[in-house]
Structure formats: C-alpha cells, structure tokens
Amino acid sequence: MGEVGAAVALTAWALPMARLAGASREVAFELTAGFSATFILATLAVRSLVAHHQGRPAARGLRLATCAVAGLVPIALMSERCGAVAFAVLPMAVLAGALVISHPHPRNLFKIGFGTLAAAIAVAGILVATLRSS
C-alpha cells in the first residue's frame, strides 16, 4: 500500500500551497483532506480491479476497503463541517464504487484512467468553489 502513502504525501502539498495562497488553516486542511480522499479512493479502486483480475485473494479486502472509504462520503455529507469536502469527493466515490462493483477488464485501464482524471478534475473544481465561498 505504498501507493496510498504516495497519494497522501503528494496531495499533502495542497496544504502549504493553499496557505501561501491566503486560505485559512481550516480551509487548507479541508482541501488537503479532500484531495487525499480522492486519490486514496482512486488508488484502492484500481488496485482492487487489478487484484481481482489476477485472481489474488487480496482483491476482496481491497474491494471492502474501497467500499468502506466510499461509504464514508455520504456519512460525512451529514456533518456540518465536512459536508463540502464530502460533496466534492462524491464524483470519485461514485467512480470507485462503480469500478469495484462492475470489475471492467484491465484492457480498459486507459479509459478508466481518463475517468479518474475527469473525476479528479471535478473534485478539484468543486473543492475550490465550495471552500472559496466559505
């Protein structure tokens, strides 16, 4: 799961960048949490997909982890403080859930990559729009 660690480490750069741009500490942490959750979901979903098609027993655990993380998004939507971040992460949560449930063939990883790119761009746009207004 070094990929998850790398995803968190790379998205952690959003914190100092947001602070340098003038965002408050809370907004910077929310932005970083949103980006981290987005890329954790994408990583777990793709790793689950690859493990499933390789017939590895880890596939079930990865599917459960992806569903658990994606399932936290609607719960967080009910939270007063985390609602904007959870709403922003929703496109990636839906995509990750769809990948884990449908198990498309790995030869479609190119298309899946563009899907995750589109979802990540949507997340970034929603995060910036919602956190800028707060």
Question: What are 67-118's pLDDT values in tens digits?
Answer: 777 666 666 666 566 777 888 888 988 888 888 888 888 788 899 899 999 9
Class of residue 54 by CB neighbours under 10 A (exposed 0-12, middle 13-18, buried 19+): exposed
What rounded mean pLDDT belongs to the chain? 82
pLDDT tens per residue across span 4-14: 788 888 888 98
Structural domain span for residue 23? 2-132
Cβ–Cβ < 8 Å for 20, 70: no
Number of structural domains (the chain) is 1
Of 33, 57, 49, the residue nearest 101 (C-alpha): 49
**Global pTM?**
0.81
